[in-house]
Structures are given as C-alpha cells and as structure tokens.
Structure 1
Amino acid sequence: MSGRHMDARHNYNLRRTMTPKQIADMFNDFADDYEEDTKVLGLCSHLRIGEYMAETYPEHLRAALQVLDVGAGTGYVGETLSELGFKRIDALDPAQKMLDVAKTKKVYRRLICAFLNKNRIDEIETDQYDCITTAGAFNEGLIPVSAFQEMIRIVKPVLNTMTVDDATKDDDVVRMMPSSHKPDAGCLARLTDLLLVV
C-alpha cells in the first residue's frame, strides 16, 4: 500500500485541512488497494444500500430506474444494484483511477469524474435521476452540506436518497431520507435535518 495522504484514508479528522485535489489524489493512489482494504475492515455499506433499494423498488420497476451512485469509488454499490436488477446506473466520483476500476465491472452506463458540491455538474441534467445512492461519502472532506442543492436539482420531483456511512455487518446504521415532494432551496435546512448520517 502506497500513495499520498495515507494516514487520512481511515482517519477522517486528518481530511479537514485537505483540499479537494488532495482528497482525489488520496483516492487515486488508493484505487488498487481499496477493495482489499475495505474487505479487511468488514465494511458492507453496499449491501445495506442494496437491501434498502430492493425493499423500496419492486423488481419489475428496477431496470427502468435511473440511479446515480455518488462517491461510486470502485463500484461496490453499482455491482450490488446490478445484481438486483437495476440497469441504468451512472457513477460519480472525483477520483478517476477509482472510476477506472469501476469501469471494469461493466455495471455503469456513464462514469462522471467530478466532485459533488455546490457547483452545477454540467454532465447531469436537471431531474435526470430517480434515485441517488451513496456509501461512505458523507465523511470529512468528501461531500459537503452545500451539495444538497445540486442533489435536489438532479433528482426527479419524488426524491429518494439513501446513504450508509461505513457500515459493518454488525451495524444498524441505515438512514434514509424519502420525500413525497421535491424541496425547493428554502427547504434545504429541513432536508439536511432529515438525512441522518452516522
């Protein structure tokens, strides 16, 4: 295992002073070791997301749903969703080398190399996705609260967002934020209160 910012890989407090470029560099350097490292840690957030998505969306609807996997990394969530019948999955991640690994899994339609933050991602249309998933990306130095505005823009009026952060098989940390309407910018504070991240 080698690369830049190695100490910050699992010590999120060290990420507070890192720039977005440094974060992307860390994950680019980590891409080849990422899956082995997360298996050793026993992380299974991708499985929890799969369980939730399977419970939420009936099997006959899954192939048509457009899903954005935010912080897709090497494709754990995409693989899990594909096995469950979700076929229109796009990946978003700021580390190109992580996306290069994800591409080999052949479960994503598009791979978008960008940070999710307050800025508009031009490759993504307004109301393009039915659902956004993310595993472990609401940690220090990754997705900021200001990104909720962009998340609201890119999902269709019925918002289903699901996040699991660093779950292990023994944790019960699934937190979901379903909403029957698309909140406007004035609802952003309430939206961030509803999405519980551990």
Structure 2
Amino acid sequence: MEHLNFERGKSLQQAESWIEAEKAYRLVIEENPKSFRALNNLGTVLEQQGKLPDAIESYKLAIHAKPTEAIPHYNLGNAYHRDGQLEAAEASYRRCLEQNPDHVDAAFNLGRALYDQTRLEEALTAYQRAVALDPEYVGGHSSVGGVLIELGRLDEAEPAIRRALELDPNSSEEHFNLGRVLEGQGKMDDASWAYRKALDVNPENTTTKESLGRMLHSAGRQDEAVEFLNEWIKREPDNAIPKHMLASITGENVESRASDDYVRDTFDRFADQFDETLKRLEYRAPSLVMAVLVDDYKVQRNAFGSVLDAGCGTGLAGTLLRPMTRRMEGVDLSSKMLAKAQALNVYDELFEAELTAFVSERHDLYDCVVAADTLCYFGDLEDVVNATFQSMKPGGAFVFTLERMNIEDDGRGYVLNPHGRYSHSEDYARRVLEDAGFKVRAITVPTLRREAGLPVLGLLLAADKP
C-alpha cells in the first residue's frame, strides 16, 4: 500500500490536486514515518497550499529521515526564502550543496538569499558558481551582471549581460541592463540603442521608459528627451509619470507637489524591491529621525501617546518608532507599500490616503509626527506643514527630512529635480515651519543615502508645536 499511495500522491501532485495529494502522502507516512520521499513531497504540496510552517516541518522531517539527500535541503531553503527567513534559507542551500556540489539551482538560489541580505560579493560568488556549473544558464549570467552593476564594476558586468543576451536575444530585461552599463560607461548612443531595444521587446515597461528619458536628459540631448516624453504622453495621456518627468527636465508646468497618481504608481512598482534597494543605497532617513528623537528629545519607551508615521512606506521608520509610543498610525498613498507595512504588525492602524488631506481631518491628535523621505515629493510645503501643525497636540514634535537644494534659490525655495523629487532651501523650510506656528528646534545637513556612489545631502528638521 505504501508504494501505491506514494504513486497516487505523485499523480495527484502532477495534476495539481494539492489536497488529495496531501492525503495520499499522509497515508504513506502513517505506514512509514521515515519515508523521506513522502515527507519531502508532502512539504511541496503543503507549500503549494500556502501552508509554509507545515511545509517547513515536513522538509525537516524528510532531512531527519535521510540527511544526505540533497533535495529536501534545497526545498527547505526555498520554503525558508519564501517565508523571509534568509539566514535559514542560506544555511539550507549550503547543506544542499554539501550533499550535491553540482546542484545548479541551489547555487543560484544561494546567490539570491545572499543578495537579499545585501551581501553582494558573496552573492556574486554563488551566481558565478551557478554559471560555471551551467554555462548556458541565462538567469545566472543575468544575475552576475546585475550584481556587478550594483558593485559599480561595469566593465565586468558588460560581458555577463552580453552573454545572457546571446542566450536570450529577446530579453527586454537584459537589453535594459545593457543600457544601464553603457550609460554608466558614458556610451550614451549605445545606451539609447539598448534601452530602445528593450522597449521594442516590451513597449509597456515604465522603468525602461523612465531610464531612457532621464538618460537622454543627462546626456544633454534635451530635445530628444522632450520629444520622447511627449510621444509617451501622447500614447498614454492619463499616465502621470511622463508628465512629471517632462516638468522635471524642462522646468515648465511644475506642480506644487507630485501628483497622487505619480507617487502611487512609482511606489506600487517599487514596493517589492524597496527595502533591499534602500539597504544597498545606505539609506539613513529613518535612523536619522530616530536619532533626533533619542538624542534631542530624550524620548524613552512609550513616551508618546500617539505617533503618525507620515508616508510610512513599508514601515522602515515604524519599526524603529514602535517602542516609543502606545499608539502608532501610518499613512501612505501606495497600497502595495502599505501591504508590506501591514505585515510587520507594528502599526495600530494604516490608512491609504494623500497626506495633506489626511492630516487636515485630524485635530490635536498626535504627540509626534515623523516624515522620513516623504516631503521630497512636495515642492510647496505650506499646506502640508499647516495641516500637520493642526493635527498635533501642544508640545508635540515634528521631525522630518528634505533633500537639500544645491542650486541658487530663485525665490520659491524649492526646485523639482530631473530625478523626480523636490529639494528645498533651509531658509524656505524654516520660514514655512515658523509661519505655521512651529518653533524650530534644530536643522542639520546629513547624508540621506548614496546614489551612484555619491552622498545625497538632505535637511533633517525638528520643530515643536508650542
């Protein structure tokens, strides 16, 4: 019966009848609790049903039954990875490779687990191992090239990406990556060709269109950039992204803040890679805000009754703020970013809303409002700062970051930059705060993050409501 039930389980698994397959494998395990094949396959069907904790336990039992078998280690690594347990995933992939040094997918997924921990050099070594094992592994060559781009080793990245293109000539992703390399090497004509080739394959890819538009502008090909963006707008008249980009590079029709659609679309696309990308950029805004609260305000555990994380994103600031407050709310325009924040279980309540409208409806509610890397999507700060003032209790703290304007002020106090964010002058920010009724406690000029290896200077502001 054990053999019959196992074969029945396999057939049901192949037919994607997960529940019935689970029943069949459990019958095998009842008869033979040490059947590593049934335990391993049970883990797979449990995983397909979204039962990750149960799948992980089943894989562990399979490994206990036969520790020298590579496959359960590999499957356990994948389950840990899906569950966000990156160090455990790494360990499982390494154990799989100990049992089977030629396991290509284990080498590649080890690279992914290391990459997601921002251990780029180690990830590169793992990806290189995968392509050494299988020289025609497109994803391996692509990942080698991608990591080398992030490490700034463009001359090494180029042959890896070109090899991926040899193996998959119609890959939009690899043409895009080639464009990134060529742009970084200053080969703007070739980069333009690569980006346009990527768009030939995938005309709807917003990231590629953004990159081409910004590359043309940075290369001094202003007319070509404007023409490209106008064509994009003509094809997609309701798309906020090319309109915002066009304003950012021409200085014409600049809105007082980025539109809701622009912010929502940008961060919905970015949500899945947001935290990992910012780690690699040495992103510091949440920790800078925290340092002000701890060092300047001497905030201790549960010091605040209510805190608002304004533009909370995936919850990077909220995780740090939670011990300081008895209640914490978050607000953001991006539903996908909010979903990431919700998964952290640190917020009492999350709201999908535009910030100014949201705080305008709240009065004398918050002991502290923080906005880490949020107000750089506002040019004119008056409305949002005034509304924030009325939302706070007397004695409340308002701590936030801006990007620092590095060109001569034309009188407005802010400018929309080609990268799509606004930067502000210190004098303008101080004036807006004081006009709203705040008492400015401190303004400093820290490094917010690094882009292209260079520091991005910001303004870190702390103000009190009397």
> What is the match of residue 100 of structure 1?
339
Give 1:174 deviation, angstroms. 5.5
Q: 1:61 to 1:143 in 2, by over 3 A?
A: farther
The reply on whether 1:45 has 2:326 as its aligned counterpart is: no
> What is the match of residue 168 of structure 1?
449
* Rounded Cα–Cα distance in structure 2 between residues aligned with 1:87 and 1:171: 34
Q: 1:175 to 1:104 in 2, by over 3 A?
A: same
Q: Which portions of structure 1, spanning 4 or more consecutive aligned residues, are displaced by more than 6 angstroms?
A: 169-172
Give 1:40 deviation, angstroms. 1.4
Give 1:54 deviation, angstroms. 1.9
- Aligned counterpart in structure 1 of residue 300 of structure 2, from 41, 59, 63: 59
> What is the match of residue 135 of structure 1?
372
Letter in 2 for 1:178: A
Q: Extract unaligned runs of 5+ from structure 2.
A: 1-172, 174-203, 215-243, 249-253, 404-447
| 3-state secondary structure, aligned to 2:449 | coil
Q: TM-score, normalised by structure 2?
A: 0.33
Q: 1:153 to 1:39 in 2, by over 3 A?
A: same
The structure showing larger relative contact order (alpha-carbon pairs under 8 Å, at least 6 residues apart) is 1
Deviations along 1:33-72, whole A, 9 cap, x unmatched?
Answer: 111111111111111111112231432542x431100010
Q: 1:4 to 1:121 in 2, by over 3 A?
A: farther
Deviations along 1:101-147, whole A, 9 cap, x unmatched?
Answer: 00111111110111112x3557x531110110011112145884321
| Aligned sequence identity (%) | 20
Contact 1:114 1:121 in 2 (8 A): no
Q: 1:60 to 1:45 in 2, by over 3 A?
A: closer
Give 1:26 deviation, angstroms. 1.2
* Rounded Cα–Cα distance in structure 2 between residues aligned with 1:85 and 1:61: 4
Stretch moving more, 124-133 or 92-101: 124-133
Q: TM-score, normalised by structure 1?
A: 0.73
> What is the match of residue 112 of structure 1?
351
Aligned length: 175
Q: Extract unaligned runs of 5+ from structure 1.
A: 182-198
* Rounded Cα–Cα distance in structure 1 between residues aligned with 2:206 and 2:370: 27
Q: 1:114 to 1:57 in 2, by over 3 A?
A: farther
Contact 2:373 2:400 in 1 (8 A): yes
Letter in 1 for 2:397: N
> What is the match of residue 262 of structure 2?
22
Contact 2:449 2:456 in 1 (8 A): yes
* Rounded Cα–Cα distance in structure 1 between residues aligned with 2:465 and 2:341: 32
Q: 1:135 to 1:108 in 2, by over 3 A?
A: same
Q: 1:32 to 1:142 in 2, by over 3 A?
A: farther
Contact 1:93 1:112 in 2 (8 A): yes
Q: Mark the structure with the bigger radius of gyration.
A: 2
Q: 1:58 to 1:38 in 2, by over 3 A?
A: closer
* Rounded Cα–Cα distance in structure 1 between residues aligned with 2:205 and 2:315: 21
* Rounded Cα–Cα distance in structure 2 between residues aligned with 1:143 and 1:71: 17
Q: 1:5 to 1:145 in 2, by over 3 A?
A: farther
* Rounded Cα–Cα distance in structure 2 between residues aligned with 1:89 and 1:69: 7
Stretch moving more, 96-105 or 49-58: 49-58
> What is the match of residue 178 of structure 1?
463
Letter in 2 for 1:73: G
Give 1:165 deviation, angstroms. 3.9
> What is the match of residue 195 of structure 1?
none
Higher helix share: 2
Give 1:177 deviation, angstroms. 3.2
